[in-house]
Structure 1
Amino acid sequence: MSDLVANVVGTAAALCSITSFAPQMIKIWKEKDASAVSLKTYSLTVTCFVLWTIYGVLTEAWPITIANACALVMAAGVLAMKWRFSGAGRPG
Structure 2
Amino acid sequence: MDGSNVANLVGTGAALCSMTSFAPQIVKIWRERDASSVSLRMYVVTVTGFTLWIIYGALIGSWPVIGSNVVCLTMSATILALKWRFSRTGDVRA
TM-score by length of 2: 0.91
Structure 1 unaligned runs (5+)? none
- Residue 10 of structure 2 aligns with an amino acid whose one-letter code is V
Equivalents in 2 of 1:9, 1:65: separation in Å? 17
- Please identify runs of 4+ aligned residues in structure 1 that moved more than 3 A: none
Q: Please list, as runs of the form range in 1=range in 2, the aligned pairs for 1:52-91 lying within 5 A after superposition.
A: 52-88=53-89
Counterpart in 2 of 1:47?
Answer: 48
TM-score by length of 1: 0.93
- Residue 44 of structure 2 aligns with an amino acid whose one-letter code is S
Equivalents in 2 of 1:88, 1:37: separation in Å? 14
RMSD of the alignment, in Å? 1.0
Counterpart in 1 of 2:15?
Answer: 14
Tell me the SS of whatever aligns to 2:38.
coil
Equivalents in 1 of 2:57, 2:17: separation in Å? 18
Q: Say how many residue pairs are matched.
A: 89
Shift of 1:8: 0.6
Structure 2 unaligned runs (5+)? none
